[in-house]
C-alpha cells in the first residue's frame, strides 16, 4: 500500500534510458495525435503500437493487463451510455426518447479506444520513468527545485496519510465501531477520524520540516545534482524522429 | 566540540490557560573531539528536545524559550545555524526523515545539498551504503524497508555528509530485537571515524557504546559519569523510569487453572493478502479461557496476521476462527470487540477523540455497555488520568497518551485481551504500568494473548506458540519451546 502511487517498473530498456524530457515531449505530441485521429482503425493501430512499444521495452504483460482492468469500468460506461447521448445516422432500436444508432455506437467505440490510448501513453511514461528522473525533467525544464521536491514529497506522503486513516479506522473497529446508519450518520462518524488524520498529518509535516532543515534544505547554498540528465545522441535522434512523425501526421490530415 | 552550558528550554504553552512545558531544566556537559556521550532518560525526559537544540533546530524551527549556551563543531548554535553537514542528526522516527524515491537517492540528497561535485557523489553514496550494509537494497523504496534497515538508511544518509558532530536520538527506538542488533552492530564501529558522538537511549546496550553517560530526569541532567557506574546503579535507573528489569515484574499467573471452555479456536487457518502474499498456511490453535499465550517468531512469520483474525480485522481465506465458542465469520469486527480487547502496535498514533474522556468512552458507547460513566471514570482513575479527562489527547505527553490507550481498553472489560508487540519502543515506566495492569487482569481470569519478541515475557506465559513462515512450528510450555533455540528462529 505504501508504494501505491509508484507505477515505475524497474527494468533496463531503451525507453527506460530515454531522457525524460524527450518522453514528456513525446507524450505531449501523442496526446494531440490521439485527439486529432478521427478514425477508429487509426486509434486501434495507435493502441496496438503502444502495446508493442511497452512489450519491446520489457514492461511485462501483467502490468499492461492491470492497466486494462483499471480502465475496464470506464470502457463499459462509455460503451453503454455514450451511444444514447450522441445519436447519429441509422436508428437500430428506438425506446421512447432513447435511440440506439450506428453513428452513436461507432462514436462510443472511438471514444473508448481513445481513452485507452491516453491511458497507455501515460503508462508509457510512468512505467519507464522513475520519480527522480521525472522531477529532474521538470526542474530542468524550468520548474524551481522546491516545486519538484514538493511534488516528490506529496507522492511520498499521500500513502502515509492513507495509512494513518486505515490505522485510526482499525482502532475504532476494534472498539466496537460498525458501519451503520444513513449517509449523514456515517459521515458524522468519519469526522473524528478526519480530525485524527489531520493532526497526524500536521505532526508528520512538522517532523519533515526539521528533517529537511537538518540536511540543509534551508541553507540557501547551491545544490549539485547527482546523475544529472544529459541529452545523448539517441535522445536527440528520438526527439527529431517523433517531431518529424508528428509533422507528417499534421500534413497528411 | 560539543558543549552545553546551563541549558534550559521551554516549549510555548499549548493553550491560553496552560503553562509552558519545561523540556530542559538544567543540562551541562562538554565533549572533546572524538568523544562519545550517552544520554539516558525515560520517554518525555527531554532527550529529543536536547538533540534538536544541539542541532540548532529548536527553537529556530519549533519556537520556545531558551537560555544557557550551546556550541557544536565550533559554532555558537543559538546565534547561528551550523553550516550544512557540520552537525548530523538521526531523528527518533527514522521513517519520516526518509523522503526520496530510492535508497541511493536518499543518501545522495544530503551530498547534493552540500554542493559536492556530482562526479564525486556516486563514490560517497557507495561507501555509505557499504558501511551500513545497504548495497543490496539500493534501488528499493525506503518505505519498503524493515525498521532496522530504515534506521540504518537514515544513519547512512546523515553519516555520508561527514558531520563532525553526530547526534543519534534513540537509535534503537521502536525496533524489535533483530533490528536493534543490526543497528547496534553498525553503531559499534562509528567512533573509529573520529566523529564526536552523542546518543540518547533508555537501553543499557546502547548506552554501553559510550564511555560516559548522563541521566536525564524530567529535563534535569546528572553530571556525566562512567557508563559502567551508571548502569550498575539499577535502582536509580528504575527510579528514573528508564529500566524495569524482569526480576521486578509482577506475576502474570492466573489465580485458578485455565477452564476447559475454549476462548479462541483456530482451525486450519489460511490467509493471503489481496496482493497475493500468503501469510498463514494452515494454523491450528486451541486457547482455553484464562490461559496466557505468548506468540513468538521472526519478522514476517504471520504473528500479527494471526492475531488480527481474533477480532475480525482480517477474515480467513480458508479455515475457521471461533471466539468464545462462536464462529467469528458470523460476527462483525464491531461485535467481536465485546469479547476481544485489542492493543495495536504504537497505539498512541490512533487517538482520535476530542477529549480523553470521549476517547475512553468511545468503545463503551459503541458497544452499548451499561454504566458508561462508571466504567470510564474507573478506567481514568486506574491510569491516573482523571485530571486530564477534558484535555485533548493530542497535547498529552507520550506516556500519558499510552495510558489513554490502556484506559480505553480497560473500560471495555473484555474476557480476552490480544496485544500486538506491546513492548516495542516503551521505557521502564510504561512497561511497569502495562505489566501491573495485565497482572490485575490475569488475576481476574482474563485470557491473554501477546505477540512479542521479548523472550523474558514469553517465559512467563502459560504457553508459547512459535510461528515461522505462516505455520506453527512449536507449541508448548515456555520450558519446552524456549529451550530449543535452534528450532525457533527469533
B98 and B168 housed in the same domain: yes
Shared domain check, B299 and B231: no
**Which of residues B175, B210, B242 is at a domain's end?**
B242
The per-residue pLDDT of chain A, averaged, comes to: 87
Structurally, chain A folds into a number of domains equal to 2
Q: Determine whether the interchain pair A224/B121 forms a contact, defined as Cβ–Cβ distance below 8 Å.
A: yes
- Angstroms from A23 CA to nearest CA on chain B: 20
How many CB atoms lie under 10 A from the CB of residue B46?
A: 26
Contact B110 A132 (CB under 8 A): no
Q: Indicate if A84 and A205 belong to the same structural domain.
A: no
Question: Are residues A157 and A113 both part of a single domain?
Answer: no
Within-domain flag for B489? no
Per residue in A14-71, pLDDT (tens digit) is 999 999 999 999 999 999 999 998 889 999 999 999 999 999 999 999 999 999 999 9
A239, pLDDT greater than 90:
yes
Looking at the structure, do residues A80 and A151 belong to the same domain, yes or no?
no
**Are B351 and B301 in a shared domain?**
yes
* Closest by Cα among A22, A15, A24, A26 to A55: A15
Q: Which chain A residues in 223-242 lie under 8 Å from chain B, judged by CB atoms?
A: 223-228
Cβ–Cβ < 8 Å for B26, B69: no
Question: Does residue A35 sit within a domain?
Answer: yes
Q: Mean per-residue pLDDT for B174-199? A: 87
Of B101, B332, B351, the CB nearest to A152: B101
**What does the block give as the cell for A233?**
545522441
Render pLDDT for A180-208 as a digit per residue (tens, 0 to 9).
667 777 777 777 788 888 888 888 888 88
pLDDT digits (tens, 9 = 90+) for B378-412: 999 999 999 999 988 888 888 889 999 999 999 99
Phi, psi of B392 (to 5 degrees): -70, 135
Cell matching residue B97: 526523515
Instruction: Tell me the β-bridge partners of B26.
Output: B220
Which residue, A185, A186, A175, A178, is CA-closest to B332? A178
Look at residue A8 and tell me if it is in a domain. no
Picking from A156, A168, A217, the nearest residue to B352 by CB comes out as A168
Determine, yes or no, domain membership for A172. Answer: yes
Indicate yes or no: CB of B351 within 8 angstroms of CB of A196.
Answer: yes
pTM for this model (two decimals): 0.85
Cα B204 to the center of its chain, rounded Å: 16
**Quick one: pLDDT band at residue B310, thresholds 50, 70, 90?**
very high
8 Å CB contact between A135 and A15: no
Co-location of A155 and A196 in the same domain:
yes
Q: Residues A78, A116: one domain?
A: yes
pLDDT at position B239 = 93
Q: What is the ipTM of this complex?
A: 0.83
Cβ-based contacts of B108 with chain A (< 8 Å): 226
Contact B313 A173 (CB under 8 A): yes
Q: Are strands B326-327 and B36-41 parallel, antiparallel or unpaired?
A: unpaired
Tell me how many domains chain B contains: 2
Note whether A42 and A153 are same-domain residues: no
What domain range is B122 assigned to? 2-242
Strand duo B165-169 + B416-420: pairing: unpaired
Domain stops at, among B212, B242, B272: B242
User: What residues make up the domain containing A154?
Assistant: 144-214
Task: Find out whether B257 and B243 touch, Cβ atoms under 8 Å.
Answer: no
Q: Which of A145, A125, A126, A142 is nearest to A22 (CA)?
A: A125
Residue among B118, B161, B412 minimizing CB distance to A225: B118
Nearest to B115 among A164, A174, A222 (CB): A222
Residues A180 and A55 in one domain: no
Does B342 share its domain with B432?
A: yes
Same domain, B67 and B193: yes
Q: Is B252 found in the same domain as B235?
A: no
User: What is the C-alpha separation between B298 and B468, in angstroms, rounded?
Assistant: 7
Amino acid at each position: 500500500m505504501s508504494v501505491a502511487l509508484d507505477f515505475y517498473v524497474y527494468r533496463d530498456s531503451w525507453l527506460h534510458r530515454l531522457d525524460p524530457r524527450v518522453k514528456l515531449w513525446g507524450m505531449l505530441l501523442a496526446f494531440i495525435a490521439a485527439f486529432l485521429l478521427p478514425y477508429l482503425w487509426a486509434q486501434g493501430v495507435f493502441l496496438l503500437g503502444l502495446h508493442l512499444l511497452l512489450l519491446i521495452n520489457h514492461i511485462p504483460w501483467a502490468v499492461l493487463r492491470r492497466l486494462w482492468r483499471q480502465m475496464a469500468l470506464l470502457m463499459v460506461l462509455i460503451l453503454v451510455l455514450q451511444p444514447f447521448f450522441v445519436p447519429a445516422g441509422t436508428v437500430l432500436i428506438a425506446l421512447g426518447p432513447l435511440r440506439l444508432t450506428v453513428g452513436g455506437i461507432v462514436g462510443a467505440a472511438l471514444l473508448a479506444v481513445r481513452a485507452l490510448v491516453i491511458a497507455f501513453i501515460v503508462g508509457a511514461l510512468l512505467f519507464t520513468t522513475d520519480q527522480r528522473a521525472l522531477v529532474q525533467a521538470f526542474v530542468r525544464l524550468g520548474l524551481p527545485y522546491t516545486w519538484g521536491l514538493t511534488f516528490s514529497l506529496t507522492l511520498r506522503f499521500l500513502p502515509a496519510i492513507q495509512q494513518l486513516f486505515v490505522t485510526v479506522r482499525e482502532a475504532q473497529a476494534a472498539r466496537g465501531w460498525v458501519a451503520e446508519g444513513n449517509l449523514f450518520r456515517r459521515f458524522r462518524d468519519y469526522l473524528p477520524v478526519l480530525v485524527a488524520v489531520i493532526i497526524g498529518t500536521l505532526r508528520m509535516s512538522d517532523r519533515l520540516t526539521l528533517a529537511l532543515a537538518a540536511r540543509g534544505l534551508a541553507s540557501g547554498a547551491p545544490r549539485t545534482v547527482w546523475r544529472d540528465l544529459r541529452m545523448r545522441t539517441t535522445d536527440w535522434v528520438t526527439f527529431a524522429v517523433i517531431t518529424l512523425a508528428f509533422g507528417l501526421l499534421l500534413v497528411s490530415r | 566540540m560539543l558543549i552545553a552550558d546551563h541549558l534550559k528550554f521551554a516549549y510555548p504553552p499549548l493553550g491560553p490557560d496552560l503553562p509552558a512545558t519545561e523540556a530542559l531544566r538544567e543540562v551541562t556537559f562538554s565533549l572533546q573531539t572524538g568523544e562519545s556521550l550517552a544520554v539516558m532518560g525515560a520517554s518525555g525526559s527531554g532527550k529529543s528536545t536536547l538533540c534538536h537544540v544541539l542541532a540548532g533546530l529548536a527553537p529556530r524551527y519549533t519556537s520556545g524559550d531558551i537560555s544557557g549556551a550551546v556550541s557544536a563543531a565550533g559554532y555558537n548554535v543559538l546565534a547561528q545555524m551550523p553550516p550544512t553537514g557540520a552537525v548530523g542528526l538521526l531523528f527518533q522516527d527514522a521513517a519520516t526523515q526518509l523522503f526520496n524515491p530510492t535508497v541511493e537517492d536518499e543518501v545522495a540528497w544530503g551530498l547534493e545539498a552540500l554542493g559536492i561535485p556530482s562526479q564525486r557523489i556516486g563514490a560517497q553514496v557507495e561507501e555509505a551504503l557499504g558501511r551500513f550494509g545497504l548495497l543490496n537494497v539500493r534501488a528499493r523504496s525506503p518505505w519498503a524497508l524493515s525498521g532496522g534497515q530504515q534506521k540504518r538508511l537514515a544513519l547512512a544518509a546523515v553519516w555520508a555528509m561527514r558531520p563532525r558532530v553526530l547526534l543519534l536520538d534513540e537509535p534503537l527506538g521502536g525496533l524489535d530485537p533483530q533490528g536493534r542488533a543490526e543497528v547496534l552492530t553498525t553503531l559499534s564501529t562509528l567512533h573509529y571515524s573520529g566523529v564526536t558522538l552523542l546518543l540518547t537511549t533508555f537501553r543499557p546496550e546502547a548506552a554501553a557504546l559510550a564511555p560516559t553517560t548522563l541521566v536525564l530526569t524530567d529535563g534535569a541532567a546528572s553530571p556525566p559519569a562512567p557508563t559502567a557506574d551508571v548502569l550498575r546503579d539499577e535502582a536509580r535507573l528504575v527510579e528514573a523510569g528508564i529500566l524495569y528489569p524482569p526480576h521486578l515484574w509482577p506475576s502474570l499467573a492466573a489465580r485458578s487453572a485455565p477452564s476447559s471452555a475454549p476462548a479462541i479456536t483456530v482451525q486450519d487457518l489460511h490467509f493471503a493478502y489481496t496482493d497475493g502474499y500468503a501469510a498463514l498456511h494452515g494454523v491450528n490453535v486451541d486457547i482455553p479461557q484464562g490461559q496466557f499465550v505468548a506468540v513468538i517468531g521472526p519478522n514476517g512469520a504471520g504473528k500479527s496476521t494471526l492475531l488480527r483474525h481474533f477480532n475480525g480485522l482480517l477474515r480467513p481465506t480458508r479455515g475457521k476462527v471461533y471466539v468464545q465458542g462462536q464462529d467469528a465469520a458470523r460476527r462483525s469486527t464491531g461485535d467481536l470487540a465485546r469479547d476481544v480487547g485489542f492493543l495495536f502496535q504504537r497505539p498512541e498514533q490512533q487517538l482520535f477523540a476530542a477529549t480523553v474522556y470521549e476517547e475512553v468512552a468511545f468503545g463503551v458507547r459503541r458497544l452499548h455497555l451499561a454504566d458508561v460513566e462508571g466504567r470510564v471514570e474507573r478506567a481514568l482513575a486506574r491510569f491516573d488520568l482523571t485530571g486530564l479527562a477534558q484535555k485533548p489527547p493530542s497535547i498529552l505527553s507520550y506516556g500519558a497518551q499510552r495510558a489513554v490507550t490502556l484506559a480505553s481498553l480497560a473500560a471495555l472489560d473484555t474476557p480476552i485481551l490480544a496485544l500486538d508487540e506491546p513492548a516495542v519502543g516503551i521505557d521502564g515506566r510504561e512497561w511497569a504500568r502495562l505489566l501491573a495492569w495485565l497482572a490485575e487482569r490475569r488475576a481476574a481470569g482474563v485470557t491473554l494473548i501477546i505477540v512479542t519478541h521479548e523472550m523474558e515475557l514469553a517465559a512467563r506465559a502459560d504457553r508459547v506458540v512459535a510461528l515461522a513462515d505462516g505455520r506453527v512450528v512449536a507449541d508448548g510450555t515456555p520450558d519446552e519451546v524456549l529451550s530449543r533455540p535452534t528450532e525457533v528462529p527469533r
